Amino acid sequence: MRLSSKFVDHLLLKLLLLKLALLLVTDGVLLVQLITAQEDILIKERELESARKKFEIIRSAKYKNRPQDYDSTDSGTDF
């Protein structure tokens, strides 16, 4: 599931605020660790989405001049 960048930013802000609140509670250490792990996941998902967009731009540029009826089986490569 892909999340929008704005939504990820919103979640990261909420997690940061919750983490700050939990730091005030001595029994919240495990919860802070869980939230930190979730924050790391959201950051990586945002990086992955950015990489996917860059890949799509590069791929589109590479194939933009190719004719619509181009048959990739005749390309001469054996991949």
Instruction: Report the domain count for the chain.
Output: 1
pLDDT digits (tens, 9 = 90+) for 63-77: 887 777 666 555 555
pTM: 0.54
CB-based contacts of 11: which residues, under 8 Å, 6+ apart?
3, 42
pLDDT digits (tens, 9 = 90+) for 6-51: 888 888 888 888 877 777 665 666 777 888 888 999 999 999 999 9
Note whether residue 33 is domain-resident: yes
Note whether residue 8 is domain-resident: no
Note whether residue 10 is domain-resident: no
Residue 36 in contact with residue 19, Cβ under 8 Å? yes
CB-based contacts of 9: which residues, under 8 Å, 6+ apart?
46
Note whether residue 55 is domain-resident: yes
* Residue ranges making up the domain that contains 52: 28-62
How far is it, in rounded angstroms, from Cα 22 to Cα 71?
58
Note whether residue 11 is domain-resident: no
pLDDT digits (tens, 9 = 90+) for 54-63: 999 999 998 8
- Note the pLDDT of residue 1: 56
- Note the pLDDT of residue 7: 82
Note whether residue 21 is domain-resident: no
Q: Which residue has the tokens 């509670």?
A: 25
Q: Which of 60, 47, 37, 64 is nearest to 5 (CA)?
A: 47
Note whether residue 57 is domain-resident: yes
